[in-house]
């Protein structure tokens, strides 16, 4: 703490971060949590309508997390360990489910795998009832395995190849090495991956809403209380319940993180290659990934086809009219807003998260654990309540000068803070403190050292924060649905309206446009980032 007093600028920066967190994370959420009042909570708990969705939520969480993590694990193993072919292709496929608003994708599943689905009935003559637990399970598995895959791949790739080589040297086979060396080494990372995926799944609203039928989980109950009956207080109580589950998961994750991490991070990178896996295994990985990719491609292919036909699946005459519709009128504005809001939010969120992560990870001041907790908290808040919290908190007469677009951006920034923050903390753990100290000892203030030395070295974390925030901002409906205004409509709102209007062709065309735009933006950012890196290399 005294070290902060010695550097007033650093103290000010810290206070600013704390103030922003209090204003933009804590204050809006308090609005939601206190909304029902004690009487509201009492009658809600006594009413008991929450019991079934609560149990359902836990069931779905257990099932979908298990399958998504297993699938993600296989995919990650295939990508990190095997030398299967087409890795870039599989990498792209692994991103697709992250880039699409889930409520349209779930509809595509119904078309393919419903009781009269193109595959289930058309090909196999089966009429499965996919509405309910089964459907949610299937769709969430596909939708969330990419998250699990990214997290697990990260954990696996951090295990030191030298140890695996050593184990192989001692005569262990590939499977044995994996079981006795790789797996135990990456256990903390795996645990974190499982719990993070579980949090995403338990707060998923879009998929259960579309394919859940009467199988109600907490997020759909909360949403439908609002949408069907305008019952805000009960919905807020449901949301608080959901928040508690997510918090429990988060605390479990903290415990895991706090436990000894065996992941070997040495300052000097090991350039040793991983021991090769048998060709059979590579082929198994390849075929497994191919099947998965097939399912994903089919789902997105269906979207593309319905966007290009008159009335899918009844009238398959090709037409461009849905796309014409998407690019005319105010629809184009919505696409542009999506791009602008998401990019700005992603950039601000990633940089802010990086700075906050640095303050917390490198700090020695009291209360940093509380800040750490608050920066992760938004991960546990359902988007719809983040949005309502913002509207309640910031729709004030004296704030009317604030541009609504700015408010939307702020909501996206702070709702997504946990991603960038966790990436920053993980990244900082890999950078020895002496790097910061070297800058300080050469006369740079700690803030300057952060900017000159730590920030450039955390490019990877910054990229994770940026890309994930961007992707989530592009695909979020729930956060913005209470904040958007006519001038600040975004693509997901449009798609939602089109789905409600039963304009299926328009909705799919809009989704295709949205996904394509997001991919294009990511490509451009990737190219720019690489360009800057190349520039830095050339400067020497």
Identify the residue among 438, 528, 531, 532 touching another protein (CB under 8 A): 438
Distances 194 to 90, 97, 159, 198, 428 between C-alpha atoms, Å: 21, 18, 18, 6, 22
C-beta closer to another protein: residue 92 or 370 = 92
Is residue 316 near another protein by the rule CB under 8 A? no
Shortest distance (Å) from residue 65 CB to another protein: 17
Residues 187-246 that bind another protein (CB under 8 A): 209-210, 212-214, 216, 220, 224, 226-230, 232, 235
- Cα separation of 68 and 74, whole Å? 10
Identify the residue among 125, 169, 396, 401 touching another protein (CB under 8 A): 396
Residues 451-490 that bind another protein (CB under 8 A): 452-453, 456-457, 460, 463-464, 467-468, 471, 481-482, 484-487
Cβ of 229: how many Cβ atoms within 10 Å?
10
Identify the residue among 523, 528, 531, 534 touching another protein (CB under 8 A): 523
Judged by CB under 8 A, which stretch of 136-144, 240-248, 255-263, 521-529 contacts another protein? 521-529
C-beta closer to another protein: residue 237 or 517 = 517
Q: Following CA atoms 211, 213, 217, 222 in sequence, which dihedral angle do they give, to the nearest 10 degrees? A: 100
Phi, psi of 530 (to 5 degrees): -65, -35
Shortest distance (Å) from residue 348 CB to another protein: 19
List of residues 6+ apart from 16 with CB closer than 8 A: none
C-beta closer to another protein: residue 61 or 307 = 307
List of residues 6+ apart from 487 with CB closer than 8 A: 333, 404, 405
Shortest distance (Å) from residue 435 CB to another protein: 5
Got the DSSP string for 313-373? TTEEEE-SHHHHHHHSTTHHHHHHHHHHHHHHHHHHHHHHHHHHHHHHHH---TTHHHHHH
Identify the residue among 12, 279, 327, 534 touching another protein (CB under 8 A): 327
Residues 47-86 that bind another protein (CB under 8 A): 47, 49, 52
Composition of the chain by helix, strand, coil, percent to 5? 80, 0, 20
Q: Do 345 and 386 touch, CB atoms closer than 8 A?
A: no
C-beta closer to another protein: residue 66 or 497 = 497
Shortest distance (Å) from residue 244 CB to another protein: 22
Residues 115-174 that bind another protein (CB under 8 A): 115-117, 129, 131-132, 146, 150-151, 154
C-beta closer to another protein: residue 178 or 312 = 312
Q: What angle do CA 516, 522, 524 make, to 5 degrees?
A: 105
C-beta closer to another protein: residue 99 or 167 = 99
Shortest distance (Å) from residue 220 CB to another protein: 6
C-beta closer to another protein: residue 161 or 310 = 310
Identify the residue among 126, 264, 287, 315 touching another protein (CB under 8 A): 315
Identify the residue among 179, 336, 369, 429 touching another protein (CB under 8 A): 336
Shortest distance (Å) from residue 291 CB to another protein: 20
Q: Following CA atoms 307, 308, 314, 316 in sequence, which dihedral angle do they give, to the nearest 10 degrees? A: -170
Q: Following CA atoms 451, 452, 456, 462 in sequence, which dihedral angle do they give, to the nearest 10 degrees? A: 0
Shortest distance (Å) from residue 168 CB to another protein: 27
Binding to another protein by CB under 8 A, coded x per residue (else -) over 254-293, reads: -------------x--------------------------
Q: Do 153 and 76 touch, CB atoms closer than 8 A?
A: yes
Query: For the chain, how long is the longest CA-to-CA vector?
Result: 75
Q: Following CA atoms 9, 12, 16, 19 in sequence, which dihedral angle do they give, to the nearest 10 degrees? A: 170
Q: Do 189 and 253 touch, CB atoms closer than 8 A?
A: no
Binding to another protein by CB under 8 A, coded x per residue (else -) over 85-124, reads: ---xx-xx-xx--x--------x--xx--xxxx-------
């Amino acid at each position: 703490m005294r070290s902060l007093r010695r550097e007033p600028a650093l103290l000010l920066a810290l206070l600013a971060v704390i103030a922003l967190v209090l204003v933009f994370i804590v204050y809006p959420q308090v609005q939601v949590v206190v909304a029902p009042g004690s009487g509201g909570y009492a009658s809600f708990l006594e009413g008991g309508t929450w019991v079934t969705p609560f149990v359902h939520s836990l069931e779905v969480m257990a099932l979908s997390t298990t399958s998504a993590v297993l699938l993600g694990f296989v995919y990650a193993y295939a990508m990190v360990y095997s030398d299967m072919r087409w890795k870039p292709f599989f990498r792209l496929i692994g991103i697709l489910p992250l880039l699409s608003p889930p409520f349209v994708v779930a509809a595509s599943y119904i078309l393919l795998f419903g009781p009269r689905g193109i595959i289930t009935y058309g090909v196999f003559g089966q009429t499965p009832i996919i509405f309910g637990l089964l459907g949610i399970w299937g769709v969430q598995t596909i939708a969330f395995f990419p998250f699990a895959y990214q997290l697990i791949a990260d954990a696996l790739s951090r295990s030191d190849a030298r140890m695996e080589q050593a184990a192989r040297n001692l005569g262990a086979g590939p499977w044995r090495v994996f079981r006795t060396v790789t797996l135990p080494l990456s256990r903390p990372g795996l645990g974190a991956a499982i719990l993070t995926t579980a949090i995403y799944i338990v707060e998923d609203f879009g998929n259960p809403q579309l394919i859940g039928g009467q199988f109600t989980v907490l997020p759909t109950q909360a949403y439908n209380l609002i949408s069907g009956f305008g019952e805000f207080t009960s919905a807020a109580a449901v949301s608080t319940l959901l928040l508690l589950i997510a918090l429990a998961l988060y605390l479990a994750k903290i415990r895991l993180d706090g436990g000894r991490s065996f992941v070997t991070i040495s300052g000097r990178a090991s350039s040793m290659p991983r021991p090769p896996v048998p060709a059979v295994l590579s082929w198994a990985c390849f075929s497994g990934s191919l099947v998965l990719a097939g399912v994903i491609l089919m789902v997105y292919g269906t979207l593309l086809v319905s966007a290009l036909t008159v009335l899918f699946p009844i009238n398959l005459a090709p037409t461009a009219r849905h796309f014409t519709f998407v690019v005319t009128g105010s629809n184009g504005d919505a696409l542009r807003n999506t791009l602008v809001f998401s990019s700005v939010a992603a950039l601000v969120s990633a940089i802010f998260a990086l700075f906050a992560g640095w303050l917390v990870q490198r700090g020695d001041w009291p209360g940093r654990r509380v800040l750490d907790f608050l920066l992760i908290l938004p991960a546990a808040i359902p988007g719809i309540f983040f949005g309502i919290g913002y509207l309640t908190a910031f729709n004030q007469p004296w704030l009317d000068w604030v541009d609504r677009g700015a408010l939307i951006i702020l909501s996206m920034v702070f709702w997504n803070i946990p991603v960038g923050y966790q990436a920053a903390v993980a990244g900082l753990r890999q950078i020895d403190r002496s790097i910061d100290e070297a800058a300080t000892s050469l006369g740079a203030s700690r803030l300057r050292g952060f900017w000159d030395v730590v920030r450039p070295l955390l490019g990877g974390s910054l990229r994770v924060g940026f890309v994930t925030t961007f992707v989530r901002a592009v695909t979020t409906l729930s956060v913005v649905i209470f904040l958007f205004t006519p001038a600040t409509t975004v693509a997901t709102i449009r798609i939602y309206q089109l789905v409600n209007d039963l304009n299926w062709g328009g909705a799919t065309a809009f989704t295709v446009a949205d996904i394509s735009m997001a991919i294009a933006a990511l490509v451009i950012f990737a190219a720019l980032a690489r360009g800057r890196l190349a520039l830095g290399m050339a400067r020497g």
